[in-house]
Structure 1
Amino acid sequence: VEQLLHLIGDGYYGLFQEERHGEVLARYLDKAHRLGMRIIVYVNTHLIPPFMAEKDPEWAARHPDGSYRTAYDTYRLACPNSPWADWVMAELEKLARYEIDGVFSDGPSGACACDHCARAFEAWYGSPMPRGAQPGSPEAEALRRFDLETRVRFCRRFYETLKAIRPQAICYQNLDVLSLPSEPFLPYNDLLGSEGGFMFYGPPRRGYLWKTSLRAKVLEGCAQGRPTVIFAAGDQKPWSCYLHAPGETRLMFAASVANGASVWYGLHCPIENMNRPGGQAAGAMNQFLAQHEAIYDDTDSLANVALLHSASTRIHYQTAREASDFYEAAGTALARGVGDVAASFEGFAAMLYHSQIPFDVLPEEVCARGGWDRYRCLVAPTGACLSDAVIASLRDFVRGGGLLIASLDTSLFDEQGRRREDFGLADVFGACIEERIDHFRDFNYFEVIDSSHPAMRELAVRLAPAPAFGLRVRPTTARVLARYHAPLAGRYEPMTPLAGPAVLWNEFGQGHCLYLPGTFGEFYREYTTLEFRQIVAGAIRAFAPPSIQIMGAPPSLEVTLRRKRDGSMTMVHLVNYTGGMTRPIQQALPLRDLRIILREDVLAGRPQRARALVAGEELSITSTEEGTLVTLTDLSSEYEVLVIEEGR
């Protein structure tokens, strides 16, 4: 399959125009189809074409001061509520009459402050569009809904325009699945795609190591059975003519397919760069995947741990940095706290990656419908803004025997950002809020006071760094496993007395809750504090044992576990980020003698054969008391997939 841009491109811009591209596209499609290739045409739906700059005053998106909104420093963003949208749909109708196999819509941008948007707002809602809305106000919420509806209406119109002429063609767009709710867009996307492989846009050492993998997990969680694709730029952003290092390229491919996603690999520079090391690495990965396509088709994750993704929290929660009282009164529509939901999400994900605990991402709307039935542990990282339906579902999950791990102010606000009197999950946490926070900065501590608990047994220290902020809570039914020390005046001052709880454990129904009242995920994202990871992994291994164990692995090895839907084989994907303490990663360092144990209940049938697909080696299978043991003597590159064939 080719996502076609080069034939209709104008620099970096691509939009079919029949008078310019019609004849050559028809010939290209005929030749491609005779070669067995399917062609999905790229359509830019967020920029005004450079060759139509005279339309800027009428079509361009505007800031409140009337200035143009731009992208990539030089291009003008198009307003989806302007006549530009009519022009796009007219060109799409012409394109759909050719023998194309699908269309990829790269956009749109959202609503803006132009006159077209003002007229659309008043037509849709019957009142003037607010100007200068304050965060958390009803006016700000109205503008947010307008922005979302603008995007959804454009996507629906684009989808219906294509399908009316070419119903068999697939249609999908570039979705921001982290910042926007995905469900409104699902009816207009035959597959889900997102830019999980566009990196780094800054110093590589600051890039999130697991970006591609985590985005692929979010996509699969949101897709509701649709295929998923990671858009991966071959170039190291923002340099369009400088390709990624070969190690980084292989990791983008590996992290995508290990989590059920296909890969769109795109160049923003001359094709000759495919002869460079990064391009050659991409070619080799594509050849490998083509040879083993059947292994990757029709698989499902076997993870029994899921990370809760709350789009409501991403939308409504605002990070504050005050060090004393900061929570607004109950009932106010301003979710403000010291947490950072994006950093917390990535921090808790990193704890799971570093511990080789396979996990999925569970969107809040799926959780609200009880879509957690195959999980034994759910992790809610700074999930501040949760609906009553999500809270009721999480309560049922724990009551029925599940393990919930939650941090900071999870459930303190509803899905619109309105403050509750107390945590919505106070009974599950076994604790209630005391309204204040402590600012621990970077030189304070918490102390283990109950080392007998399974969550604390791996800790080799009594004192560990406290996260930057701790929320004061009062235990009701929870057991306190660790307490903060009161904030020090300075790093060389005498140790202060013990203060509020730092780690709490509560039994609720048949299940359990590990509650961490502080910015644990946010802090781990930056400091990778070992003890945070040990507490989380210790609780999971004791009360929701993962389906797989890896012995001899460093924290830089990602493990995912998937199975063919027909039950014929199970795949263990190993993604090796061990890069010699530098980034970009040129070449991963080899790992030796990895012992992999699959729990007995994981395999659908008796294991018959185990292969390392990249190495092309047969592996021995041993039955042990712990489960099925497979040993990989050499992981010499960034990726390996173990295929275990099962008999009935």
Structure 2
Amino acid sequence: MNRRQFILAGLGTPAITLHPGSPINFITDPATSLILPGATPRTRPRTSRMRWAQLAFVENDPKHFDPDFWLDYFRRIHADGALLSAGGVVAFYPTNVPHHHRSDWLGNSDPVGEMIKGCRKMNMSVVLRTDPHATRQDMFDAHPDYISVTADGKPRRHWANPDLWVTCAYGPYNLVFMTDVHREIMQRYQPDGIFSNRWAGHGICYCRHCTENFKKATGLDLPRSERRLDPAYQKWEAWRKDRLRDVWFTWDGEIRKQRASARFIPNGFPDKLETGKFADFFFADQQARRGVIPPWSNAMGAKELRAGLGMKPIVNIFSVGVEEEYRWKDSVQNDAEIRIWVAEGVANGMRPCFVKFGAYIYDKRWMKAVEKMYQAYLRNETYLKNTAPLARIGLVYSEQTSQKYGGKPWQEKSNEHALGVYQALVEEHLPFEMVNDKLLDRDHLKPFRLLILPNIAALSDSQCRQLRDFVNAGGSLLATFETSLYDEEGQPRNDFGLTDLFGVSVDRTNAPGTTAPVHHSPRHHSPGHHIPRRHSPGHKCRPGRRPHAQLLPPHKNRPPRRERPGRRLQDHQLRIQGKGQTQLGLPFSRHPDPHLSRPPDGRRLPQAGRDRHPRALPQRARPRPQHRAPRPQSRKRPRRLHTRATSTAVSGRC
């Protein structure tokens, strides 16, 4: 018996007791040696396995796929959890629920049952997958009210398959029909949980159920457009969240009736805070990147979920195929792309789960890469369990700002503020965690010494008060752009909600909508090239107060200058306020010509780490170039473009 088993068996109580609101919340099951609060041995979910495999069946798979091939592969990669398609649009088992369409290739077979039997012989956890987003003509004929309706009153055909109808997610199709399907699946197979894909609807539905229920709940008619800032649409978003919560609880309650330890696992919910509150276990469907999305976006998703879920198990569903706009599910990503995407998730606490759409394989090149990764994770499993974040920097994200803020030219793509700061922290190798803006209480902020607010524009008075308490307790704040300039409903304030901390006020003499040139380095553009930039209302330093640090935009052929009290600061500035002793080196700007401002006493702001970019120093502090003998022609290297972002620092003791 090892120490952990002794503690569990001998004491019968958790070895670690934490405050219920603590962000470091250890949750899992006996397989990973952590403890679910309030759970008995009969009700603990068995879904906290470390390496998962998903088979997303297509309709003709019952005729073509080889279950022994897949079970042998699961054995080779040491998978200890399986996610298997069961029902919804298509039933891959002999269902008895009326209008639950059986696969035309099913015959007398039961591929779901065969796979479950083989997985359980290997002591794997099994979660079954349903997909309720569409249905067949027989369902349309029997229950036309189950079908989603467009704004012009027409039943909605499926966008990819004209033989299917899109279902309404907020009415009896989910609450009645899919509840029957989930009950049958639980009674027949007793899985460890049911995961539903595409269960949350596809925009506004104008069926009679939605029309009546929305009118009853709000007194309004359904909005005719999906403009994010339309008050009627925001009412619909809140109503939709309530309806989806009802669906979640209905399915979860029925599943627990059949097996107390089983859970319903939604594929996404419109509120990450409630996801963390109600979910014991979660599948993060972050399959791959497309276009110019950086690999760390997988890690960012993991951090955002962990901000609400704590250390509850999160499984990362990743695709082995190409996930571009026009995708073919039998395509294969190259090995390096698969590895870097999965590594970002695993390094941030997620458990990997490959997904293969279609159980018949045309291209097997991905299989060896996944096998090597999973075997490596098995060898290092000890270090992937029982983890907790130790970062002391918190990067705040805000669903509230995403929903209620915007509408003006300079507020477009406001999410890029967070992306830029995230990239800067990654480049500087600074450990950090994401912080949900609705969890700013003392207990959740206790681990952090510095909070970064990248344009968290919509903050309530209560949230501003919590941030002041954080500063008064010794923490530091770094905020950008219009942080706290709007309330929780997106209504503008006369001044920043945190103006007393920042020491700056809004200067509305800089009229919105004006443009100013932004000069770029001739290394990237021709001399004098400029791009118009839209301005927000400026910021003015309050009399008698100086910002602790500020970032001034670069000026062509001109050294940086210091702002004085009472003078207007530029819109892109850095503000740091706090009693804590903090040292920070933070790349902040996209501009390739970096400049640093100076603190009031004129000292040069120090760089964090080795200063590798002489142009990041003020004009007078730049080192003189050293004259060296020219290199032989054969050793010349092509000139590399400087891409290092502007850095600034605040001195102090960590």
Q: Name the TM tier (shorter chain).
A: 0.5 to 0.7
The match for 2:124 is 37
Q: Is the 8 A contact 1:485 1:496 kept in 2?
A: no
**CA separation in 2, counterparts of 1:283 and 1:42?**
23
Cα offset, 1:338, TM superposition: 2.3
Partner SS state of residue 156, structure 1? helix
Q: Deviations over 1:127-185 (max 9, x none)?
A: 55455587645423321211211221111112112112111113312115xxx322334
Cα offset, 1:266, TM superposition: 0.6
Q: Is the 8 A contact 2:135 2:167 kept in 1?
A: yes
Q: Is the 8 A contact 1:382 1:407 kept in 2?
A: yes
The match for 1:385 is 458
The match for 1:169 is 262
After TM superposition, the structure 1 stretch with the greater mean CA deviation from structure 2, 137-146 or 358-367, is 137-146
Partner SS state of residue 301, structure 1? coil
Q: 1:169 to 1:255 in 2, by over 3 A?
A: same
Letter in 2 for 1:473: H
Matched, 1:229 2:300: no
The match for 1:78 is 167
Q: 1:551 to 1:84 in 2, by over 3 A?
A: farther
Cα offset, 1:113, TM superposition: 2.4
Q: Is the 8 A contact 1:102 1:171 kept in 2?
A: yes
Q: Is the 8 A contact 1:213 1:259 kept in 2?
A: yes
**CA separation in 2, counterparts of 1:318 and 1:214?**
22
Cα offset, 1:193, TM superposition: 2.7
**CA separation in 2, counterparts of 1:266 and 1:534?**
50
Cα offset, 1:481, TM superposition: 3.9
Q: What do you get for the CA RMSD once the two structures are aligned?
A: 4.2
Letter in 1 for 2:145: E
Q: 1:437 to 1:7 in 2, by over 3 A?
A: closer
After TM superposition, the structure 1 stretch with the greater mean CA deviation from structure 2, 182-191 or 70-79, is 70-79
Matching of residues 433-472 of structure 1 within 5 Å: 433-435=506-508, 436-437=511-512, 443-444=518-519, 469=535, 471-472=537-538
Cα offset, 1:316, TM superposition: 1.1
Q: 1:481 to 1:384 in 2, by over 3 A?
A: closer
Letter in 2 for 1:236: V
Letter in 2 for 1:194: A
Matching of residues 87-236 of structure 1 within 5 Å: 87-97=177-187, 98-110=189-201, 111-125=204-218, 128-131=221-224, 136-175=229-268, 180-200=270-290, 204=291, 206-236=292-322
In terms of fraction of residues, the more strand-rich structure is: 1
Letter in 2 for 1:38: S
Matched, 1:272 2:272: no
Q: Is the 8 A contact 1:506 1:513 kept in 2?
A: no
Q: 1:47 to 1:196 in 2, by over 3 A?
A: same
The match for 1:244 is 333
How many equivalent residue pairs? 493
Partner SS state of residue 518, structure 2? coil
Q: Deviations over 1:69-95 (max 9, x none)?
A: 677634654212233211111010000
Cα offset, 1:505, TM superposition: 4.5
Q: 1:149 to 1:505 in 2, by over 3 A?
A: closer
The match for 1:562 is none
The match for 1:366 is 439
User: Structure 2 residue aligned with 1:282, among 366, 370, 380?
Assistant: 370
Partner SS state of residue 197, structure 1? coil
Letter in 1 for 2:334: A
Partner SS state of residue 457, structure 2? coil
**CA separation in 2, counterparts of 1:140 and 1:130?**
6
After TM superposition, the structure 1 stretch with the greater mean CA deviation from structure 2, 117-126 or 139-148, is 117-126
Cα offset, 1:213, TM superposition: 1.3
Q: 1:199 to 1:259 in 2, by over 3 A?
A: same
**CA separation in 2, counterparts of 1:441 and 1:416?**
30
Partner SS state of residue 459, structure 2? coil
Q: 1:23 to 1:244 in 2, by over 3 A?
A: closer
**CA separation in 2, counterparts of 1:220 and 1:533?**
35
Unaligned runs of 5+ in 1: 322-336, 447-463, 536-541, 553-625, 628-648
Q: Is the 8 A contact 1:229 1:263 kept in 2?
A: yes
The match for 1:346 is 419
User: Structure 1 residue aligned with 2:382, among 294, 297, 305?
Assistant: 294
Partner SS state of residue 123, structure 2? coil
**CA separation in 1, counterparts of 2:461 and 2:611?**
41
Q: 1:72 to 1:139 in 2, by over 3 A?
A: closer
Q: Is the 8 A contact 1:66 1:113 kept in 2?
A: yes
Q: Is the 8 A contact 2:57 2:358 kept in 1?
A: no
The match for 2:99 is none
**CA separation in 2, counterparts of 1:466 and 1:190?**
49
Matching of residues 215-614 of structure 1 within 5 Å: 215-237=301-323, 238-269=327-358, 271-272=360-361, 275-276=364-365, 278-321=366-409, 338-368=411-441, 370-435=443-508, 436-437=511-512, 443-444=518-519, 469=535, 471-476=537-542, 477-479=545-547, 481-484=550-553, 500-502=568-570, 503-505=573-575, 507-509=577-579, 527=590, 529=592, 531=594
Q: Is the 8 A contact 1:243 1:279 kept in 2?
A: no
Q: Deviations over 1:509-530 (max 9, x none)?
A: 557899x9xxx97xx5xx4757
Cα offset, 1:190, TM superposition: 2.1
Q: Is the 8 A contact 1:319 1:340 kept in 2?
A: no
How does the TM-score come out when normalised to structure 2? 0.66
**CA separation in 1, counterparts of 2:574 and 2:268?**
38
**CA separation in 1, counterparts of 2:389 and 2:597?**
24
**CA separation in 1, counterparts of 2:213 and 2:499?**
43
Q: 1:104 to 1:274 in 2, by over 3 A?
A: farther
Q: Is the 8 A contact 1:401 1:510 kept in 2?
A: yes
Q: 1:465 to 1:191 in 2, by over 3 A?
A: farther
**CA separation in 2, counterparts of 1:349 and 1:438?**
28
- Answer with 1 or 2: which has the greater Rg: 2
**CA separation in 1, counterparts of 2:288 and 2:576?**
41
Letter in 1 for 2:126: I
Cα offset, 1:340, TM superposition: 2.6
Q: 1:58 to 1:342 in 2, by over 3 A?
A: same
Q: 1:5 to 1:247 in 2, by over 3 A?
A: closer
Q: Deviations over 1:464-503 (max 9, x none)?
A: 99976454011112336454589xxxx999x999984243
Partner SS state of residue 341, structure 1? coil
Identity of aligned residues (%): 19
Q: Deviations over 1:220-263 (max 9, x none)?
A: 11213321122211111123221112111001211011000112
Letter in 1 for 2:403: I
Q: Deviations over 1:16-67 (max 9, x none)?
A: 4543589553443233212212211011133336885657953332332235
Partner SS state of residue 213, structure 2? helix
Q: Is the 8 A contact 2:397 2:434 kept in 1?
A: yes
